[in-house]
Amino acid sequence: MKTRPSSRHAFAVLVATFVLATSPTAAFAQATDDPPADDAAAPDVPADPAATGPQPAVGDSVKQLQPDSAPSPTASDETPPPGNEKGDETSQDDETSQDDEISQDHVSSSATEKPQIPDFAAERTDESDWTMPGKTTALTRFSKLDEINDKNVKDLKLAFTFSLGVNRGQESAPLVVNDTLYVVTAYPNHLYALDLTKEGAPLKWSYTPDQPLAAQGVACCDVVNRGAVYSDGKIIYNTLNDTTVAVDAETGKEAWRTKLGRIQEGMTMTMAPTLAGDKVIVGNSGGEMGIRGWVKALDVATGKVVWTANSTGPDEDVKIGERFKPFYDQYKGKDLGVKSWPAGMWKNSGGGAWGWVSYDPELNLVYTGIGNPGPWNSSMRPGDNLWAAGVFARDADTGEAVWYYQTSHHDWNDYDGVNEYMILDMEWKGEKRKVLVHPGRTGYMYILDRETGEVLSAEPFGAITTSDGVDLKTGRIQWVKDKMPDDTGRVKKDLCPAAPGAKDWQPSAYSPDTGLLYVPHQNLCMDLKETEVGYIAGTPFVGAEVRMKPGPGGHRGEFTAWDLTKQKAKWTLKERFPVWSGTVVTAGNVVFYGTMDGWFKALNATTGDELWKFKTSSGIISQPTTWRGPDGHQYIGVLDGVGGWSGAIVAGNLDPRDGTAALGFVNAMTDLPDYTTAGGTLYAFKLPD
């Protein structure tokens, strides 16, 4: 591949054309009628129009701050019912040390209140049930249940287990509705209902969607599923072969199924739907396969598609019209989803919406993160590559775009914009603002105004060498030019964060009691070399050779408690492997997460002190949840089953001798098989009677 790149590229195009001409019914019949042409391979890195803007002193002020005068574990012991009271104490401590950091004007010095979960979500935090992965559509993952608290969690015991029957990465969340526990597995996407009213929570029914084995062959990063949502008597989730199914929660019978895409185009679905009123919002995966991303709204009652919004292409397809009022100028103009790409490349541009969707019923807006542009080879697609790698605010009823923000223009590191956009209300420079909090793959903790799309703050929470801050005037990330791929074709070394970002899909939780955002994430860097690639439908469209490695310090995972008011970490726990599980925090001042070497842990949510841990059979990459059972007691549930992109070396039995395997993740995980094997089990814990 070092020789004659242009002729080889031409060959690939020729191959694609050949397929189109000769085999219209073959798996590759979807070869584009506009394959990435030679002119698309121009190696120029586009000039960054925002490069001249003022550079914020990102990181400079925060790093000199002394550690907080955090309440000690004893402080929390003195507060009998762990809850709001203690939280308020923390707030006052925070205020005193706040005086030292006025140097940064976007760090509010007048903040007096902790960010709050808005009413529409707060009123559901004390429910016994857990009906959607994010707890509410604000995605806060906070429960008011406090029977299990920082003083008694050390006694937590296993209540029951259930084998999922699938030894692939389990990324979903146990749901509990009306005394029944529902859990979706990795492919083949079994749905199990367990009867919590009976001893041992026996199986009530199971449902397995009808889908072809071949779907496994186009899932980029293990055959995961991120969970289901309950609504209107139905459990609704996506299957790997691009189908949304609704299953009667009582009987396990399929209520409706809607086919939304084709695996022959490299498209899959792995995300958890979000409920928005009488609709569910779903999106596709396949940014490594040259798909064209979209978000769809389906009617909960019938499964009918109410609206579809593409991530790229003409304004009409993207649902950009009169109501579109982006905050920043670079998003204004006609058909930017076409013009910010080389001719025709938007058709195979990636931009899947495979992550989290949040919903604010008061504004009636859904916030849909958009994935990376394709191919990874960024030299092939000069331009900003809109609307990939960012977030749309859309009218939940019509899908119309209201604003957009791009976290990674001309993305060159696979920095998808799909991580959660958590909905909170907070005081900002003395003003109440409706915000989204987004721990980005880029390594910055973004706070956005959710009404306008303005970036209020973007402070680093991970090690970063690829950029030099986010310009708050233009909203643009400041790429470090000499780290970017250039026409020498040389390997670019020590790009931090690596392709999965400083944080990937694994969702955070926020406690209004502590004012802290709990962020499970990774500490990885990478070496990257761009390679030629031609689009062939149904095959990967990547064009990069990656080797990941541990980030500074050598640990690969971190669990960070982030103070949203101060915009800095309060404490950080280091873990050997990426923390690829979600997290849940409770009014009991306890936060839970799991590790890839198979420890399920409970920490004091205020101090980060480890209070309890349990060794599971396999590594954990799922989303823990909590509920109150029919016996009146609080439970914590989690799935083990290592896998996902980070655990592909185990789930897919990959070979550590090839560091480029699994898009380069294997290089940073060669020792994972020494710590864990594949598995798949549900665990539920409670206090002893």
Closer Cβ to another protein, 14 or 102, answer by number = 14
494/465 Cα distance (integer angstroms): 8
Q: How far is the CB of 574 from another protein (least distance, A)?
A: 5
Alpha carbon of residue 480 to chain centroid: 24
Closer Cβ to another protein, 360 or 575, answer by number = 575
For residue 79 the two structure tokens come to 């507060």
Closest-CA residue to 276 (of 309, 246, 298, 254)? 298
Say whether 170 sits in a helix, a strand or coil: coil
In sequence order, the 6+-apart residues with CB closer than 8 A to the CB of 478 are: 48, 50, 51, 53, 55, 467, 468, 469, 470, 471
- Is 171 annotated in a binding site? The answer is yes
Q: How far is the CB of 174 from another protein (least distance, A)?
A: 23
Closer Cβ to another protein, 128 or 465, answer by number = 465
Query: For the chain, how many residues are written?
Result: 689
E strands in 73-190? 142-143, 157-163, 175-177, 180-184
Contact 382, 389 (CB under 8 A): no
Closer Cβ to another protein, 42 or 463, answer by number = 463
- Is 607 annotated in a binding site? The answer is no
Output the furthest CA–CA distance in the chain (Å, rounded). Answer: 76
Contact 442, 467 (CB under 8 A): yes
Alpha carbon of residue 440 to chain centroid: 9
Contact 557, 581 (CB under 8 A): no
Q: How far is the CB of 186 from another protein (least distance, A)?
A: 14
Alpha carbon of residue 62 to chain centroid: 25
Closer Cβ to another protein, 18 or 155, answer by number = 18
Q: How far is the CB of 565 from another protein (least distance, A)?
A: 14
Residue 122 backbone dihedrals phi, psi, to 5 degrees: -60, -35
Closest-CA residue to 626 (of 140, 174, 171)? 174
Closer Cβ to another protein, 69 or 112, answer by number = 69
Q: How far is the CB of 485 from another protein (least distance, A)?
A: 17
- Is 226 annotated in a binding site? The answer is yes
- Is 655 annotated in a binding site? The answer is no
Beta bridge partner(s), residue 684: 160, 637
310/353 Cα distance (integer angstroms): 10
494/547 Cα distance (integer angstroms): 10
End-to-end CA distance of the chain: 66
Neighbours of 25 (CB within 10 A): 6
In sequence order, the 6+-apart residues with CB closer than 8 A to the CB of 70 are: 90, 93, 570, 571, 606, 607
655 catalytically annotated: no
To the nearest 10°, report the CA torsion of 215, 218, 220, 225.
-20
Residue of 414, 416, 425, 513 marked catalytic: 414
Q: How far is the CB of 664 from another protein (least distance, A)?
A: 8
Closer Cβ to another protein, 135 or 483, answer by number = 483
Q: How far is the CB of 577 from another protein (least distance, A)?
A: 9
Q: How far is the CB of 513 from another protein (least distance, A)?
A: 18
Beta bridge partner(s), residue 395: 365
Residue type, 157: K
615/303 Cα distance (integer angstroms): 40
E strands in 422-515? 422-428, 431-439, 444-449, 455-460, 467-470, 477-479, 492-495, 509-511
- Is 270 annotated in a binding site? The answer is yes
For residue 67 the two structure tokens come to 């550690």
Contact 338, 346 (CB under 8 A): yes
Closer Cβ to another protein, 28 or 685, answer by number = 28
Closer Cβ to another protein, 326 or 373, answer by number = 373
Q: How far is the CB of 452 from another protein (least distance, A)?
A: 28
Neighbours of 92 (CB within 10 A): 9
Residue type, 299: D
Residues annotated within a binding site for Ca(2+): 288, 372, 414
Just list the catalytic residues. 414
Residues annotated within a binding site for pyrroloquinoline quinone: 171, 226, 270
